[in-house]
């Protein structure tokens, strides 16, 4: 396999049943949804033992990202080769028809609460669709303590202690590990996160899982132990415009785990980076990625990984496009902004 040169790699979605999910992902992604059940998540780039993303184009079609990471370490990761044991990011689309559980994720430093091979989980969201009843809860109201939050869990009024806002399409919010959060009410988001699946639930809105006819388990003690009570409320970020021609390029997130830009325009523009991987996610429109003399079609909902060896490519829009471009930082210990 390692004799085949790498190229812009397209990956297909992996759908996940969630009791709070809906059916909106059918409009975003071309792969049909499983019938007659709520689908809350589409994992669009995942290097997990239980859910490995597979290449969906070219000579490497059917190969997993796990195999690519193993057999093409330098070609895939470039100057980041050897720094990670697996691809370090997990990308998703989430359709929250109902409210997710009120939850928290541990940080890298809270090793007591991390299973073997797992990292902490800092994540970020970009809102794609929202309605009047949509809500994002992120962070605690001023004065919230461990004791009154524990009592609120027992009383069923946790939401009274959470900061919230009504989101609109385009809003973006970053959630450092230790942030209490949830969202729902017919909202569709893109999520980028550390490659971790560690979640502790504080409260679940009295949901009953239709498959088990039982409420889902809570992990109140672990969740409370992982909360950063000094953090306060989290609000949408203010993107920084870096360029306006030939494409409007905004830096949306910059933290030690990922950088994310939003690119909007209808003229050709560069994407990718020399000697480092980049990920492209198409939110609106369609066009082609040009690498050397080859063209790779990209449509709404598609995700492409540009291996480090591919370097800088050109994106040629066929219509006005809205893309996300994601990088893995090459510097350690960058402050979350």
Say whether 240-327 and 9-226 share the same fold: yes
Q: What is the mean pLDDT of residues 73-99?
A: 96
Across the chain, mean pLDDT equals 95
> What pLDDT digit, counting tens, does each position of 116-149 carry?
989 999 999 999 999 999 999 999 999 999 999 9
pLDDT band for position 1 (50/70/90)?
A: low
- What is the predicted pLDDT for the residue at 2? 67
Residues in the chain, total: 337
- Domain ranges in the chain? 9-226, 240-327
Burial 73-112 (b: 16+ CB within 10 A, else e): bebbbbebbeebeebbbbbbbbbbbbbbbbbbbbbbebee
Q: Which two tokens stand for residue 173?
A: 């919010």
pLDDT band for position 231 (50/70/90)?
A: confident
Q: Which two tokens stand for residue 325?
A: 């471009």
> What pLDDT digit, counting tens, does each position of 255-304 carry?
999 999 999 999 999 999 999 999 999 999 999 999 999 999 999 999 99
Nearest-angstrom CA–CA distance, 142 and 231? 9
Q: Which two tokens stand for residue 313?
A: 């490519």
Please list the residues that pair with 193 across neighbouring strands: 90, 123
Just give the CATH number of 240-327.
2.60.120.10
Please state the φ and ψ torsions of residue 227, each to the nearest 5 degrees: -70, 135
- What is the predicted pLDDT for the residue at 336? 39
Angle at 90 between CA 333 and CA 3, to 5 degrees: 100
Which residues form the catalytic set? 201
Block residue for tokens 């806002």: 165
Q: What is the mean pLDDT of residues 220-241?
A: 95
The phi-psi region of residue 292 (left if phi > 0; otherwise alpha if psi is between -120 and 50; otherwise beta) is: left
CATH class of the region 9-226: mainly beta
pLDDT band for position 333 (50/70/90)?
A: very low
Q: Kindly give the residue spans of alpha helices, DSSP state H, lying in 144-246.
A: 146-155, 220-226
pLDDT band for position 36 (50/70/90)?
A: confident
Identify the sign of the CA torsion 229, 233, 236, 240: negative
With CA atoms as reference, report the closest residue to 170 among 239, 84, 242.
239
Nearest-angstrom CA–CA distance, 22 and 12? 19
> What pLDDT digit, counting tens, does each position of 143-198 carry?
999 999 999 999 999 999 999 999 999 999 999 999 999 999 999 999 999 999 99
Q: Which two tokens stand for residue 323?
A: 């893309």
């Amino acid at each position: 396999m390692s004799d085949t040169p790498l190229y812009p790699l397209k990956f297909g979605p992996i759908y996940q049943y969630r009791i709070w999910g809906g059916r909106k992902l059918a409009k975003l992604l071309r792969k049909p949804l499983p019938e007659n059940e709520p689908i809350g998540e589409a994992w669009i780039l995942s290097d997990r033992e239980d859910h490995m993303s597979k290449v969906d184009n070219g000579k490497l079609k059917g190969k997993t990202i796990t195999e690519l990471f193993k057999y093409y370490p330098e070609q895939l990761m470039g100057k980041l080769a050897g720094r990670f044991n697996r691809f370090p990011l997990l990308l998703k689309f989430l359709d929250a028809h109902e409210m997710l559980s009120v939850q928290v994720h541990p940080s890298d430093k809270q090793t007591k609460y991390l299973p073997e091979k797992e990292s902490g989980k800092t994540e970020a969201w970009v809102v794609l669709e929202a309605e009047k009843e949509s809500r994002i809860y992120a962070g605690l109201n001023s004065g919230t303590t461990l004791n009154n939050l524990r009592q609120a869990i027992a009383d069923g009024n946790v939401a009274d202690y959470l900061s919230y806002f009504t989101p609109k399409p385009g809003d973006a919010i970053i959630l450092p590990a230790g942030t209490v959060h949830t969202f729902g009410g017919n909202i569709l988001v893109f999520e980028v996160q550390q490659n971790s699946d560690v979640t502790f639930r504080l409260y679940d809105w009295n949901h009953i899982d239709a498959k088990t006819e039982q409420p889902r388990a809570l992990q109140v003690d672990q969740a409370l132990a992982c909360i950063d009570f000094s953090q306060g409320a989290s609000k949408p970020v203010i993107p920084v415009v870096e360029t306006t021609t030939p494409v409007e390029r905004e830096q949306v997130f910059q933290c030690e785990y990922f950088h994310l830009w939003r690119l909007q325009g209808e003229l050709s523009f560069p994407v990718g980076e020399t000697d480092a991987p980049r990920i492209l996610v198409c939110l609106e429109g369609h066009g082609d990625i040009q690498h050397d003399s080859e063209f790779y079609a990209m449509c709404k909902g598609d995700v492409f990984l540009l291996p480090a060896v591919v370097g800088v490519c050109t994106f040629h829009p066929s219509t006005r496009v809205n893309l996300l471009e994601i990088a893995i930082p090459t510097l350690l210990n960058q402050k979350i902004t």
